[in-house]
Amino acid sequence: MVTAIWVMGALGVVVGVGLAIASKVFYVYVDPKILEVEGALPGANCGGCGFAGCSANAEAIVAGKSPANSCVAAGEEVAQAIAVIMGMSLEAKEPDIALPGCTYGVADADTKFVYDGLNDCRAVALLNGGMKVCTIGCLGLGTCARMCPFGAIVMGPKGLPVVDEKRCTGCGTCERVCPKHIITLSSVTRRILKEYTTEECTTPCQRACPAGINISAYIGAVAEGDYNRAVQIIKERNPFPTVIGRICPRPCESECRRQYVDEPLAINFLKRYAADQEMAHGKHVQPFKAPETGRRVAVVGGGVEGLSAAFFTARIGHSVTVFEAQEKMGGLLRSAIARYRLPMDILDWDIEGIKEMGVQSETGKLLGRDISVVDLLGQGYQAVLLAVGGWDSRLARTNGKEDLCPAPGCHLLIDIARAGSPGYPAVKLDGHVIIIGNANLPPQLMQRCQELGAEKITLLVREAAVDAPLSPAQVRANTGIGRLYGQGDELNAAELIDLASGATEKVAARHVIFAAGRVPELIFIPAPVESTQEGAPDAAPVPGAWEALPPYKQPAFHHEGGLMAKGDVLTDFSAAIKAIAAGRRAAASVHRLLYNLPMDLPDNVVAPETVIQNVHGVELVPMRPRQLMPLSDERMIAQGHELERGFSATAAKTEAERCLRCGLICYRREQEGAMQKVAVSG
């Protein structure tokens, strides 16, 4: 008995020692903060956050890979509690919602083969993309509906997913399981930041529109008599619908598939009709707006680009103020277009709509005289966008008599060449001067820079091979400028980009001179605080220090880099619709900078040269004449009438019904009077 007790005791000691050793060997440390965050989460383990359960999401939150408000099953209180645990502030979260992006269902599409295998879109997609002729179309098997953890998606009668907005939490499960990216998350901010890619169902007219308006959608709304919805769709990408409906050069109509039957659709006249209905009712129809972020943005320049940038920035949720040198905003729209083409009450109406979105304005404020970039940053604006226009805009602002450079340390070459002569202000240079120009720059201009005080001069040219009448030490080929750095009203350095390799180099510089006749659009932000060595405290911020860089390039030139790159505008825009597109890109760039998001566009972004599935003819579509725009005669114009009088309600509906409601390669056929939605192969 005693022996047995000793044996059991010894065995207990051995087991205890073994367990103690094992606990040391296999011990896994769990960060108490992770446990605290996990305790605040509801424990639903629904996967809506994109992670495998609440434990995984808690780890991601602590690691900075998931935001404090990432749990879709919890409310604002939980997000706020997690933010307190993490010691961070919490901005209002804009709700995401799943958005189907296909025009026609499988039942209406031509088929390549019949698939009777696994009833899952991901399996079908492995077989040469699926059973539709359209390479990106919805496969219609409902994998997104089955995988939705909240039952927010069902397959509709057209064989396309239908989203219940009340149930959808924006968790993104459907987006992750859809192999064709037909259903994606959408929000105001996502739509403004969005550039179209080859994975999306875009129409020929939509791709041709510089602003990327969803043309078929608003024309469909006009056909249904829903003018408010039509205007809302237009303003998703164009805050000047009433103006553009009168002056747009209409590149969309050149790509309209209706031309394969008779004549292109009167796309722009229908835009004007919808916008005129809004104006006739005296109340602005506004697109959706994201929650307020509390961030402040200043836009310098109240022309089309500046007002458009302000409109989209406000829609994203930031507080924005436009500063304009003239007493009225509008830029060239107010001064360069005949009144019988664009009456001023039309322009004022659209500008009022932009202000209603929450845009503040201060007119009679000239940059360099009344305000400066540094002043605005010092007043708490977290970004300052320059949209001051080209050489012609400079003359309008300063009459050519004041040295009021819009960007610190930046000059136009013509002001350097004629500095001090009658009608031109004096200019003083010092230190390192960088000229952005070309290899044919006369040596006399370099000498002029030296006469004005330049100690070192570098000419940057984008060409790889240079045959210039300058010394090799003065020329850097295949080089551009990516960023500018300064403090207060002075420029201190520039980031040079090797255009072949993409390598960057920061060099000291006091002045940058632009030979092209304009200072480019620039976004100024306070210089980020640089960290010291690992483990050491952060360096103190430098008062008044700033960085400046351009918005990202338009899709046609998205591989270009640096200031004044190929595709950049050299003077004011050739069409207002292009300025609107640039304004949206500028707003998207500001937002990306404020949140430290990447500025690069995806490689599959849609550009004019992109190869996209398309059709070059249509079948079974009877001819219908295009509605003609009624015009005013000379007597009516003399009495103040517009040249183009606008469509009637009957003409607008008749013209809208000519639309083929195209998708990527699909369109509406008409056969024996019955509307049949089908797709045709390219």
CA 471 to chain centre: 42
CA dihedral 456, 462, 466, 468 (to 10 degrees): -50
Which candidate, 359, 309, 354, places its Cα nearest to that of 588?
Answer: 309
Yes or no: say if 78 and 200 are a contact pair by the CB < 8 Å rule. Answer: no
pLDDT for 208:
96
Could you give the strand order of the β-sheet that contains 475-476, starting from the edge strand earlier in sequence?
410-412, 511-514, 432-436, 456-460, 475-476
Tokens of 82: 């997690």
pLDDT for 519:
86
Regarding the domain delimited by 295-407+519-528+542-610, which CATH topology (the fold level of the hierarchy) does it fall under?
A: FAD/NAD(P)-binding domain (3.50.50)
Tokens of 136: 């990106």
pLDDT for 51:
76
Yes or no: say if 564 and 516 are a contact pair by the CB < 8 Å rule. Answer: yes
What CATH number labels 204-285+613-679?
1.10.1060
pLDDT single digits (tens) 500-555: 999 999 999 999 999 887 888 999 999 986 644 444 445 556 788 999 999 999 99
Domains 295-407+519-528+542-610 and 409-516 share a fold: yes
- The pTM score is 0.88
pLDDT single digits (tens) 8-18: 666 666 666 66
Domain residue spans in the chain?
1-30, 33-90, 97-186, 204-285+613-679, 295-407+519-528+542-610, 409-516
Does domain 97-186 match CATH 3.30.70.20?
yes
Name residues whose C-beta falls within 8 Å of residue 218's C-beta, 6 or more positions apart in sequence: 229, 230, 231, 233, 234, 270, 271, 274
Which candidate, 314, 297, 319, places its Cα nearest to that of 387?
Answer: 297
Yes or no: say if 62 and 51 are a contact pair by the CB < 8 Å rule. Answer: no
Residue 25, φ and ψ in degrees, nearest 5: -70, -45
CB atoms within 10 A of CB 617: 9
pLDDT for 680:
42
Q: How far is CA 595 from CA 185, 239, 483, in A?
A: 19, 24, 18
Distance CA 480, CA 495 (A): 8
pLDDT for 677:
42
Yes or no: say if 626 and 266 are a contact pair by the CB < 8 Å rule. Answer: yes
Distance CA 147, CA 172 (A): 10
pLDDT for 533:
46
CA 239 to chain centre: 14
CA 424 to chain centre: 38
Q: Where are the beta strands (DSSP E) in 149-262?
A: 153-155, 161-163, 183-186
Which candidate, 605, 557, 676, 612, places its Cα nearest to that of 204?
Answer: 612
pLDDT for 492:
96
Distance CA 157, CA 255 (A): 31
Tokens of 176: 């992750």
Which candidate, 23, 82, 71, 33, places its Cα nearest to that of 49?
Answer: 71
Which residues of the chain register pLDDT less than 50? Answer: 531-537, 672-682
pLDDT for 44:
64
- Superfamily, domain 409-516: FAD/NAD(P)-binding domain (3.50.50.60)
Regarding the domain delimited by 33-90, which CATH topology (the fold level of the hierarchy) does it fall under?
A: 3-methyladenine DNA Glycosylase II; Chain A, domain 3 (1.10.15)
